[in-house]
Amino acid sequence: MADAAEPDGLSGALARTIAALRAERGWSLDNLAGRSGVSKGVLVALEQGRSNPSLGTLARVGDAFGVPVTRLLEGTDESTVRVSGPDAARVLWHGRAGGTGTIIAATPPPWAAELWRWLLAPGDAFGGDSHAPATRELTWVESGQLTLTVAGKRFRLGPGECVRFPGDLPHSYANEGAEQAVLTMVVVIPPAAG
């Protein structure tokens, strides 16, 4: 009887990376579940390459390890110069109204930074969760209108405006306007504790 094939593509890279990071830190699945807030069942499916996780799940797992989402998906940890082209960008979020959230690139830990490009169609919204303690976000509105809610307080931003805030506060982004909003976002992720 043949052995089961190892998962390939993004799910395979994710499976291998999560298992390697857990082993590197000496964490059990229970440890990772407790640190990330992701159920043990979901983590098992991720490590077996049987899951198509949401952006929120990827962010919680990345936050627990103190690594950017791209580190989870690439399966490598580079500390040298790296040039990446458009083919390296990955759409990790699709809005109900047609928007997209694309991770362009990220730096390696510690203090990893993710570079995102968001296209929010009118009516699109995302977020709501907080990131790991000490995470920071910086968002620039290239065009359109953005409504950002941080810890229950709403901020309206227009073209050319930039906002920075602690990403460890509950926050969400929405396009309540009539035209597409184009955003550039940087998320700075602190080193994982312990």
| CATH number for the domain running over 86-189 | 2.60.120.10
At 133-163, the pLDDT tens digits run 899 999 999 999 999 999 999 999 999 999 9
Residue 3 has pLDDT above 50, yes or no: no
Quick one: pLDDT band at residue 74, thresholds 50, 70, 90?
confident
pLDDT of the residue at 5: 45
Q: Do 38 and 60 touch, CB atoms closer than 8 A?
A: yes
Q: Is the pLDDT of residue 7 over 60?
A: no
Per residue in 27-58, pLDDT tens? 999 999 999 999 989 998 888 888 888 888 98
- Please choose, from the candidates 72, 102, 109, 97, the residue with its C-alpha nearest in 3D space to the C-alpha of residue 87: 102
Task: Decide: pTM greater than 0.95.
Answer: no
Query: Is 86-189 in the same CATH topology as 9-74?
Result: no
Say if residue 75's pLDDT is above 80: no
Q: Does 110 sit behind a cis peptide bond, omega within 30 degrees of 0 on the bond before it? A: yes
Strand pairing category for 162-166 and 171-174: unpaired
**Contact at 8 Å (CB) between 115 and 70?**
no
Q: pLDDT higher for 107 or 135?
A: 135
> Which is nearest to 116 in space by CA: 154, 90, 77?
90
Domain boundaries, the chain: 9-74, 86-189
Buried b (16+ CB within 10 A) or exposed e, 99-131: bebebbbbbbbeebbbbbbbbbbbebbbbeebb
Percent of the chain whose pLDDT exceeds 90: 49
Confidence of residue 131 (pLDDT cuts 50, 70, 90): confident
Q: Highest-confidence range of 43-47, 126-130, 174-178, 189-193, by mean pLDDT?
A: 174-178
Cα–Cα–Cα angle for 52, 25, 84, nearest 5°? 55
Backbone angles phi, psi at 133, to 5 degrees: -55, 140
Backbone angles phi, psi at 64, to 5 degrees: -60, -40
d(CA 135, CA 137): 7
9-74, CATH topology level? 434 Repressor (Amino-terminal Domain) (1.10.260)
